[in-house]
Amino acid sequence: MNTQNLVHKKRIHVGAALLLGLFALLFFLLIGRFFFLQATGEAHGHDLSIEASERYNVNKKINASRGAILDRTGKPIAEDTPSFNLVAVLDKTMTTNKEKPRHVVDPKGTADKLASILETDSNELFERLSSDRKQVEFGAVGRDLPLSKKQEIEDLELPGIAFVENAKRFYFNGKFASHVIGFARADDEGEINGVSGLEKMLEEELKEQDGSLSVKTDNKGIKLSMNSDVSYVPAINGNNVYLTLDRTIQTFLEEAMNNVVKEYEPERIIAIVADPKTGKILGMGSRPTFDLNTREGLTDNWNNDAISNRFEPGSTMKIFSLAAAIEEGVYQGSELYQSGAYKLPNDPIPVYDHNRSGWGLISFEEGVQRSSNVAFALLAEKMGTDTLLEYIKSFGMDEPTGIDLPDEVTSSINYHYYRDRISTAFGQGSAFTPIQQIQAATAIANKGKMMQPYVIEKIVNPNTNQTVVENKPKAKGSPISENTASKVLEVLESVVSSENGTGRPYSIEGYSVAAKTGTAQIPGPGGYLSGHGEYIYSIIGMAPADDPELLMYVAVEKPKIAQHENGAGPVSGVFNSVMKRSLQYLSIKPDENQSLTPKKQNIGVKVPNLVGKSIQDVSSESQAPNYVVVGEGSKVLKQTPQAGQEVIKGEKIFLVTEESPSLPDMTGWSLRDVRKLANILELDTKIEGNGYVHQQSIMPGTPVEKGNQLVVELHSNRPLPEANEAEQSDDSSEEADEE
């Protein structure tokens, strides 16, 4: 019995010893683990301090906005806007409650419903929703969705469909001063950065800084105490940039350029609207252009041609040569000279007017109105070409204007040979940018004081509402006197209002316009391009003429114009529309005495619609214009000019009465009339010489059909003395596209 008790006690002691040893081992392991964690701060490869921070610290990103770009009235042109990327959860394990699924349970039905909102093929969406991935996006159709689309999709309550919110740069109106504004876009990390234009140039001003908030909480997310650590970094929005552009005037400009592109399909348009008294640019645009939101068309034209494209200006340069000649006292408007051609010293090739046979002995004032190259060659010689160069420099045309836009280039003044110097006076040989011409023209419109152009009005910090940059009008000199500027305006007004003026198509009812047109030759591989429409047609115009409030430059390159048209059609399509609407928008009252009728001549005759009428009825009309009936038919099949167009008194209106009419006797006709007839009969016409018709290859009375070749020989002297003066003026107007 005692032996059994001893054994039992011994076992108890051994067991107790083992348990004690086990507990001691566990204790030392626990203590060791504690010291290990204390020393290393890691468990199973995880940093415990980081996990604790993630569990008990709440870190939130506070999004800031990139600075907005606004017009001069505060209307937004570019600003950040919320956008949403559509995603679909396909992982079935995300659903813990079958009553409230959190993954896509019906791929086909979901695809069909989304397709109608996203305006895409439901089969493509179904393919994405049927993949074996845990989560999918929807590519371009599901990216950058506006809030309205998001709400439409949310209203469907589709399981597994969610959104990721982003910021997107949004540009109002899309194609709106695109080369001026430029664009910004998000990089791979979602950060928006400027890529071109002002968006890139002003990156430091527009750039935002996101903020953050960090708070310690318990395991239930409740803030531990008022004294617990709180880290707060405020979001700093980018600065807002106010431009001198006026959204309304810019809209007028965009609409007018779109209309001209649609009608004439030119290779290029450049247009600038400025306030000549301050140098503020109120509108600037070009074609081809691109959509700032989609970037569609970006590869067609990356540069801002208004400041980055220099070319020979043509006759718009005569504005500044005229100003120099008046300032130097060598211009006398009533002085006479022989127009047509002028031989330079030691140069076998004369300087020609665009009408090479000229207009006889005319005054210098009429020479300006007719845009005579000979007149300006003579003026350049009178004042001296060195003096002319000094005026070109004083007008700022030998250096960049310094406009606050990126990538401005400067001029290329070709003054090596005497002919180059003379040619520069009427816009050939030397090349200038449109913005240089705008800056120089402010001196004409602003009483002799030249203003630097600029587009940035001010930059404002939205966080403090403080103006950090504010630009003011800056005078860059006075190249001419106030009296000279007034005289130049007077002469340029006559270019538009005179019966001889090349600017007649730019008359605006109710407003006087001072302007000078230009037709610039385009250099090609083997010399200058030639042929109808192969020019850069332009205008510098300002209104009202006596005290200009607006200054405009418009250039249209190589428009597709009919044989009977000149470059005034596409250029006036931009200039007249924008100038008139802008003057009205600015509440500049029209002059009730201002008329479209040119001085000394009435051109307000509108062509009626005569197609389908009998020849007898047409001939019996009172005050009938100069109708020329082609053919022996009894009814009018075709007419030119078209119904509604204005013609001057005595201008021929051609009426075709049969399919293969006989060609009339064209002896004594002007080139313009020949082209009108050839165009309506669709003849293949070759012109030889200048002046008026002396011979025609197809005998009068011979029936002609489409495609027949007609050769017409012109001589400078009109063979029929009874031809009227209206036709002479008409001829000179037609030839204006060859200045």
Domain locations along the chain: 80-167, 248-585, 605-738
As given in the structure block, the two tokens for residue 319 are 């504005």
647 touches 619 (CB < 8 A): no
User: Strand pairing partners for 168?
Assistant: 81
Q: What pLDDT is attached to residue 229?
A: 65
Q: Where are the beta strands (DSSP E) in 535-666?
A: 535-543, 550-557, 605-606, 626-630, 638-640, 646-647, 652-656
What are the two backbone dihedrals, phi and then psi, of residue 532, each rounded to the nearest 5 degrees? -65, 125
Residues 6+ apart with CB under 8 A from 723: 668, 692
Instruction: State the Cα–Cα distance between residues 523 and 695, nearest whole angstrom.
Output: 33
Q: Is 80-167's fold the same as 248-585's?
A: no
- Of 544, 651, 654, give the one whose Cα is nearest residue 592: 544
Taking the alpha carbons at both ends of the chain, their separation in whole angstroms is: 141
Hey, how many other C-beta atoms are within 10 angstroms of the C-beta on 360?
Answer: 9
Residues forming beta bridges with residue 37, ordered by sequence position = none
CB atoms within 10 A of CB 99: 5
Distance of CA 639 to the CA centre of its chain: 36
- The CA–CA distances, whole Å, from 605 to 507, 608, 624, 648 equal 15, 9, 10, 6
Q: Is the domain 80-167 a CATH 3.40.630.10 member?
A: no
Q: What is the DSSP letter of 151?
A: H
**What φ, ψ does residue 176 adopt, rounded to 5°?**
-150, 105
Q: What is the pTM of this model?
A: 0.71
**Arch. (CATH architecture) of 248-585:** 3-Layer(aba) Sandwich (3.40)
- For every residue of 673-687, DSSP letters joined together read HHHHHHHHHT-EEEE
Burial of 3 (0-12, 13-18, 19+ CB in 10 A): exposed
CA distance 285 to 259: 14
- DSSP letter (8 states) at residue 317: G
β-bridge pairing 709-715 and 684-689: parallel
Report d(CA 231, CA 214) in Å as an integer.
Answer: 5
Contacts of residue 96, Cβ cutoff 8 Å, sequence gap at least 6: 102
3 state SS of 540: strand
Q: If you ran DSSP here, which 8-state letter would residue 177 be given? A: S
Active site residues: 315
Distance CA 249, CA 182 (A): 19
Residue 278 and residue 475 in contact, taking contact as beta carbons nearer than 8 Å: no
**AA identity, residue 728:** Q
What's the pLDDT at 737? 37
Q: Which residues contact 582 (CB under 8 A, 6 or more apart)?
A: 249, 252, 273, 282, 283, 550
Quick one: which H or E segment has residue 223?
Answer: none
| Mean pLDDT (10-residue bins), the chain, 739 residues | 64 73 75 64 52 56 88 93 86 83 89 89 89 85 83 89 83 91 82 91 92 67 56 88 96 96 95 98 96 88 93 96 95 91 91 90 94 96 94 96 96 94 95 98 97 98 93 96 95 93 93 95 84 92 96 96 87 96 93 62 64 80 70 89 67 85 86 81 82 84 90 66 35 38
Neighbouring residues of 486: CB distance < 8 A, sequence distance ≥ 6: 447
Q: Would you say 182 and 194 are in contact if contact means Cβ atoms under 8 Å apart?
A: yes
Residue 468, CB-side half-sphere exposure with 13 Å CA sphere: 14
* pLDDT number for residue 738: 40
* Dist CA 287 CA 326 (whole Å): 36
Nearest to 355 by CA among 369, 339, 343: 339
**Alpha-carbon distance 247 to 109, whole Å?**
45
